[in-house]
Amino acid sequence: MEITEFQTFFARLRSTALAEWGAALAAATAARVNTGAHGDLARWELALAALPMIAPDTIALNCASVGCQPAQPLAPDLAQRLHDTLQRLHPWRKGPFSIHGVDIDTEWRSDWKWERLANAIAPLSGRLVLDVGCGNGYHGWRMLGADAALVLGIDPTLLFVMQFLAINRYLQRDELAVLPLALEDLPPLLTGFDTVFSMGVLYHRRSPLDHLDALRRLLRPGGELVLETLVIDGDAQQALVPPGRYAGMRNVWFIPSVAALILWLTRCGFQRVQVVDVSRTTVDEQRTTAWMRFQSLADQLDPTDGRRTCEGLPAPLRAIIIAERVN
Ligand SMILES: C[S@@+](CC[C@H](N)C(=O)[O-])C[C@H]1O[C@@H](n2cnc3c(N)ncnc32)[C@H](O)[C@@H]1O
């Protein structure tokens, strides 16, 4: 992975109100690119280099399956080469995407999450957006489809950054990037985003209140946080700390009740806290597919009681909450 992959994004960022942060963000990205060795990186880089060049005729960002179509259907051998090369970036967790007729049926129907929040959040048109823990950038594309001016996605998992680069080989946009950064890698005083998304990240944090505080500082006063996380039923003083794994995941620390989450947000300097949605995650929304061949949610639930995980804990229930940074 080369820092040059992100140059057009940094050029775009320098034309926005975030311009002063361009150099520090580029330095943080370069540091990560230079030290972020991963055993599979060379293999993924070969896959990226092997992607066939195909100019898109139409690009679709504002629909469930993000992607592009060619003017004419691809010749079968070219379609097969595209399919096989994209498969080399397995596992594809967030999507779906459709690239020149190749449908990437990802583990998650991430479009369902988007549908739950799209009409409830402040309109993204013209806004500067940060998506913390954005995965391969699926929701970032939907944010561009909703006319955001700039979307900075960050995710420390290099495979997801490679998947973003693969999709962007075809969509060729410079208002969105997935940078290989964790939240902790961002410049310490970075601020000024109109909207900050943190979806599917809070429960991975050992210190969830520090996470909320960091998100608040990244927003401009009056800016909007869109928070999505696992929750349990319960009152404002209840949060589950799994004794070990949760639904097979090793790194789950705090799963609060919705009432506790509202309290935490208020204590951390947010106002106008609104619960947008609470939904149980189903095995139709998160499942094994041809593009994510490992185990998925169905394998992590109690086979005799779908309301429990295989560890005997409450099955995944997720809330979406929006809140405004206090001035
Ligand atoms: C459950 S996924 C959620 C992806 C996406 N936001 C969504 O809602 O579909 C959590 C993501 O957070 C990323 N992540 C983990 N620790 C992080 C950190 N410290 N800073 C930023 N992202 C992190 C992981 O790599 C992973 O892609």
What confidence tens digit (pLDDT) does each residue in 60-96 have? 999 999 999 998 999 999 999 999 999 999 999 999 9
At residue 274, the pLDDT reads: 98
CA of 308 to the centre of ligand 1 (A): 24
Rounded average pLDDT over 195-224: 98
Q: Does the structure show a pLDDT above 90 at 3?
A: no
CA of 317 to the centre of ligand 1 (A): 17
Which residue lies with its CA nearest to atom 13 of ligand 1? Answer: 133
234 vs 52: CA distance, rounded Å: 52
CA distances from 97 to 137, 148, 156, 175, 184 (A): 11, 20, 21, 18, 29
Residue to substitute in 155, 162, 181, 318 for testing ligand 1 pocket (most ligand atoms within 8 angstroms of CB): 155
Which residue lies with its CA nearest to atom 17 of ligand 1? Answer: 182
Q: Which residue carries 């998947």 as its tokens?
A: 163
Which residue lies with its CA nearest to atom 18 of ligand 1? Answer: 182
- The fraction of the chain above a pLDDT of 70, given in percent, is 100
Asked if 322 contacts 276 with a C-beta cutoff of 8 angstroms, the reply is yes
What are the residue boundaries of the structural domains of the chain, listed by start? 3-325
Q: Does the structure show a pLDDT above 90 at 305?
A: yes
For the CA of 155, the closest atom of ligand 1 is 22
At residue 39, the pLDDT reads: 86
What confidence tens digit (pLDDT) does each residue in 265-301 have? 999 999 999 999 999 999 999 999 999 999 999 999 9
Q: Does the structure show a pLDDT above 90 at 223?
A: yes
At residue 35, the pLDDT reads: 80
What confidence tens digit (pLDDT) does each residue in 257-275 have? 999 999 999 999 999 999 9
Helix H, strand E, coil C: the string for the chain is CCHHHHHHHHHHHCCCCCHHHHHHHHHHHHHHHHHCCCCCHHHHHHHHHHCCCCCCCEEECCCCCEEEECCCCCCHHHHHHHHHHHHCCCCCCCCCEEECCEEECCCECHHHHHHHHCCCCCCCCCCEEEEECCCCCHHHHHHHHCCCCEEEEECCCHHHHHHHHHHHHHHCCCCEEEECCCHHHCCCCCCCEEEEEEECCHHHCCCHHHHHHHHHHHEEEEEEEEEEEECECCCCCCEECCCCCECCECCCCCEEEHHHHHHHHHHCCEEEEEEEEEEECCCCCECCECCECCCCHHHHEECCEEEEECCCCECCEEEEEEEEECC
| Tokens linked to 189 | 């005083």
CA of 304 to the centre of ligand 1 (A): 30
Return left, alpha or beta for 200; rule: phi > 0 is left, psi -120 to 50 is alpha, else beta.
Answer: left
- β-bridge pairing 317-325 and 219-230: antiparallel
For the CA of 94, the closest atom of ligand 1 is 9
At residue 57, the pLDDT reads: 87
Asked if 140 contacts 64 with a C-beta cutoff of 8 angstroms, the reply is no
- The fraction of the chain above a pLDDT of 90, given in percent, is 94
| Tokens linked to 56 | 């898109």
Domain covering 3-325 assigned CATH 3.40.50.150 in the classification: yes
What confidence tens digit (pLDDT) does each residue in 95-124 have? 999 999 999 999 999 999 999 999 999 999
For the CA of 131, the closest atom of ligand 1 is 6
For the CA of 136, the closest atom of ligand 1 is 27
Q: Which pLDDT band holds residue 36 (cuts at 50, 70, 90)?
A: low
For the CA of 228, the closest atom of ligand 1 is 8
CA of 216 to the centre of ligand 1 (A): 18
For the CA of 135, the closest atom of ligand 1 is 27
Q: Does the structure show a pLDDT above 90 at 37?
A: no
Which residue lies with its CA nearest to atom 14 of ligand 1? Answer: 133
User: What are phi and psi for residue 145, nearest 5 degrees?
Assistant: -60, -25
What confidence tens digit (pLDDT) does each residue in 125-170 have? 999 999 999 999 999 999 999 999 999 999 999 999 999 999 999 9
Q: Does the structure show a pLDDT above 80 at 10?
A: yes
Which residue lies with its CA nearest to atom 8 of ligand 1? Answer: 199
Q: Which pLDDT band holds residue 8 (cuts at 50, 70, 90)?
A: very high
Q: Does the structure show a pLDDT above 80 at 181?
A: yes
CA of 178 to the centre of ligand 1 (A): 12
Q: Which residues line ligand 1 (CB under 6 A)?
A: 94, 110, 132-135, 154-157, 160, 182-184, 199-201, 204, 228
Residue to substitute in 204, 207, 286 for testing ligand 1 pocket (most ligand atoms within 8 angstroms of CB): 204
At residue 303, the pLDDT reads: 95
